[in-house]
Amino acid sequence: MTIAVVKDVKAGISTVNGIENPTAAVVMDGSTVGNYVTRKEELHSLGSQKAGIENSKPLGNDLNPKTGTGTIIKTAVFVLTNGRIRSSERNIILHKHMNSIQWDPKFNGDFLHDFNGNEIKYKPAIVYKPSTQAYYLRNNFVINNDGTVSFEELQINNDILKIPVDRGITIGDLIREGKDINPYLNTIAAVIKPKLIGSKLSNTVTTSRAIRTNYELWDLFGGAYSASINDLNELSYENDNTSLDNLTIACHSCGTRLTNNSTRLTEQDVWLPLK
């Protein structure tokens, strides 16, 4: 009887930096940062098994079919919420790199309507500006022919939000529910006492900017300093992720229908250029 002894094929072992270590695999500890929109998609796919938005510990594995070398990765993922983006220059840079890919030129830039042509219902776009230490409501978004987006900014504060307009209804309630506050601008003016210019408040500023990336859209919705109104009609940006939530809504809504399928839609039915 002839017995053949085959020597095991030794796989090359190296660190993630490409430095070979021929003796043993090195266990490395570390962490990564994650994109808020991607994390929201992951949680949506998990259904009832979803966990928190801010942190996760995913497992990954890989097997090289030629050598049989296996890789197991377990890492801590810290999702870039607005609070984390504000906390360091590094996180600002990482968030910008993740979201600064230019939109496909075939996309007309209409983030105000979904792929069925319906108006998208976003959360109110409120931003806190450290330079003025004041809050501003951004509304009346208009997409211009040159691709820029015009919008109005109205300075608001807790006193304005608590102005009653009907029985049990305040300005803050209207803003939070996305309802029109234009009929009440004169009432607001009486509180903040600006000069009136026609039907406009003197502190309502119209401006425009180019929006061609997810990062620019996130910044339009308030960026790292987006804010919201709580049930007590008080403003706060500290734990707010409205700008990220609005960006997520845009990524899942903006695009073009490719088929007339009326059942469960897939990527074959809808083109979503912001994802």
Give one DSSP letter per residue of 18-35, joined into a string: S-B-SS-PPP---EEEE-
Taking a C-beta distance cutoff of 8 angstroms, is the pair 31, 78 a contact?
yes
Residue 58 tokens read as 């995913």
CA-based R_g, the chain, Å: 25
The DSSP secondary structure of 63-111, one letter per residue, reads E-TTT--EEEEE-EEEE--HHHHHH-HHHHHHHHHHH-PPPPTTS----
pLDDT in tens, 106-155: 999 999 999 999 999 999 999 999 998 999 999 889 998 888 898 888 88
According to the model, what pLDDT value does residue 71 have? 76
pTM of the model: 0.79
Residues across the chain: 275
Give the residue with greater pLDDT, 166 vs 195.
166
Sign of the torsion formed by the C-alpha atoms of 263, 268, 271 and 275 = positive
